A and B are shown apart, each in its own frame.
Chain A
Amino acid sequence: MRLLRDPLYWLLAAFLLLLWGLPHSGPLFAHWFPQLERPLYQQESFWRLALAHLALVVSGSVLALVVGVGCAVFATRHAGRAFRPLLETVAAAGQTFPPVAVLAIAVPVMGFGAAPAVMALFLYGLLPILQGTLAGLDSVPASNREIAVGLGMGPWRRLWQIELALAAPVIMAGVRTSVMINIGTATIASTVGAESLGSPVIIGLSGFNTAYVIQGALLVALLALICDRLLERVQRKLSWYAQ
């Protein structure tokens, strides 16, 4: 019963059903869009697109996580405190570039394919994680810091066992936002030749094939919802101690 009440499993089931069912849905889309010559996207399998999409998002977000948390930790240490406003400005500036522009700039440098896409996703995913980590580290009670020092903990142990452990739920909120942004942004990555669930969407848009757009968009939307539920769960697990 508990499994049935959980939207995550329903979403997951719908996603898998769609991945399995879409290749067989040719007649259905032909019925809805009789004017289309090829109403079903068949260039690559949807499975492969979904995996490629996830791979892009995971690579971009993991990079953003490592760099974002690293920068935030540095900016909250004694030595790096002066750099904090600069870091926040740079990350915010990264967010103001339209993703298409980032891709357009990245292509001449990195060529076509997944590399410029990951680059764009990384830049996009950085700000929420940086901000989340800064907010999380700021929220560690001063009394905990004082006691950690006063009882004789070293700086690494304080960072790992106290500060990051206590900041984890807030950092995870940043990761969640970052991943959600990146699942959306990864759809336009196919404009620079990276495979993703955006491929049917982009091809559909340029070829006036609404069926393609619907097929891609449905899968992206479900993937986004699943990841959101999943990360929300991780976030809750990380703050178990307060429940």
Chain B
Amino acid sequence: MIEFHQVSKVFAGKEAIRNLSLKIEKGSFTVLIGTSGSGKSTTLKMINRLVEHDSGEIRFAGEPIERMDARALRRRIGYAIQSIGLFPHWNVAKNIGTVPSLLGWPQAKINQRVDELLALLNLDRHLATRMPHQLSGGQQQRVGVARALAADPELLLMDEPFGALDPVNRLALQHEMLRIQKMSGRTVVLVTHDIDEALTLADQLVLMDGGEIVQQGRPIDLLTQPVNDFAREFFGRSELGVRLLALGRAGNAARRGEWLDVEPIAESLTLREALSQFIARRTDKLPVIDQHQQPLGVLHFSDLLRQREAS
């Protein structure tokens, strides 16, 4: 989908991105993570040419982006940012319909798409005619994500999209993002400095520092086989264990064919959340139900130790 080949970018004499090579597969959920100033946002913005790269080559669907019309390119790419940037003088429907109307869709098709997106992001239909300032922060970012998805873009770029949200909304939107991405198979590139968010969302994790890629790969690889001290420190020695647990799902670890008649947990729960349940309930066995509320199996406390692989 996207290939960076030895890309560099200089800001005011200082190298912001150095010799960056990166391949983002179609349908992957790639998370760029790093400290501030690591160049992760710059990398993201080079994809939709909000920042033009100085040397090297960036290809989008096989084509070098500098040879494409910047506007046409951007309309093929969804874009959502931390500060959301809903246009305050347009209602929710018009905000969501921004790109479709740029693309000249007929109004009826835009309206239909807006309805679909409101449903997809769990927003009430009557919000369509509200103005942005009448919405809560969480609703605003849902609209921001809906707007980014409006024209069914091949690629979705998200620059710390959930950074300004409260923990409850952040978690809810992360899970919705996962659901939407799994459902549509769309390629997503997301920038964050929140390690837990990155581990929840990524199937490809790219750790950056000083304008360079330190390590890239599956989240579990970065956690278990850090290439250097920076990577090891970044993911935190003290929290490494629980972060590893966060990569596994209760549904995958549960022992099939067993059952217990107590309050069950959902299969989508991470093992980290399951651990919390074990401790809170002072038990060592928890029944797990699947998405249809049917019994799936029982998770034993000792299963947490054996669970190594990400689901």
Chain A residues engaging chain B, CB cutoff 8 angstroms: 141-144, 146-154, 157, 162, 165-166, 241-242
Contacts and interface: CB of A to CB of B under 8 A. Distances in A.
Given A143-B81, A143-B83, A147-B79, A152 B89 contact: no
Contact of A154 (B48, B71, B147): B71
A147 B99 contact: no
A150 B48 contact: yes
Contacts of B102: 151-153, 157
B88 interface: yes
Contacts of A149: 50, 74
Interface string B35-50: 0000000000000101
A151 B84 CA distance: 12
B98 interface: yes
29 contacts: A141-B83, A142-B83, A144-B87, A146-B50, A146-B85, A147-B79, A147-B85, A148-B85, A148-B87, A149-B50, A149-B74, A150-B48, A150-B50, A150-B74, A150-B81, A151-B74, A151-B79, A151-B98, A151-B147, A152-B70, A152-B71, A152-B102, A153-B98, A153-B102, A162-B87, A166-B89, A241-B89, A241-B131, A242-B133
A162 B87 CA distance: 8
A205 B198 CA distance: 79
Interface string B11-28: 000000000000000000
Interface string B67-106: 0001111110001010111011110000000110010000
B85 A143 contact: yes
A143 B84 contact: yes
A146 B48 CA distance: 11
Nearest to A240: B89
A242 B131 CA distance: 8
A143, A148, A151, A154: which has the most chain B beta carbons within 10 Å?
A: A151
Q: Which of B50, B74, B85, B131 is the most central at the interface, judged by chain A CB atoms within 10 Å of its CB?
A: B85
Contacts of A148: 85, 87
Contacts of B79: 147, 150-151
Contacts of B157: 150
Contact of B81 (A146, A152, A154, A166): A146
Nearest to A154: B71
A220 B147 CA distance: 51
Contacts of B73: 152
A170 to B, nearest CB: 13
A148, A153, A154, A162 — which one has the most chain B CB atoms within 10 A of its CB? A153
B46 to A, nearest CB: 12
A152 B88 contact: no
A150 to B, nearest CB: 4
B99 A151 contact: yes
A151 B75 contact: yes
Given A143-B83, A149-B74, A242 B50 contact: no
A155 to B, nearest CB: 10
A151 B72 CA distance: 9
B85 A152 contact: no
The list of the 3 closest CB pairs from A to B, nearest first, reads A143-B85, A152-B74, A147-B85
Contacts of A153: 71, 98, 102
A172 to B, nearest CB: 14
Given A141-B85, A162-B87, A166-B89, A152 B133 contact: no
B131 A152 contact: no
Nearest to B132: A241
Contacts of B147: 151
A153 B79 CA distance: 13
Nearest to B157: A150
Nearest to A165: B89
A152 B50 contact: no
Contact of B85 (A144, A154, A165): A144
A162 B50 CA distance: 18
A241 B88 CA distance: 7
Contacts of B90: 241
Nearest to A239: B89
Contacts of A142: 83
Interface in B223-252: none
A144 B74 CA distance: 15
Given A143-B81, A152-B73, 17 more contacts: A142-B83, A143-B84, A143-B85, A144-B85, A144-B87, A146-B50, A147-B87, A150-B48, A150-B81, A151-B79, A151-B98, A152-B74, A153-B102, A162-B87, A166-B89, A241-B88, A242-B131
B83 A152 contact: no
Contacts of B71: 152-154
A165 to B, nearest CB: 6
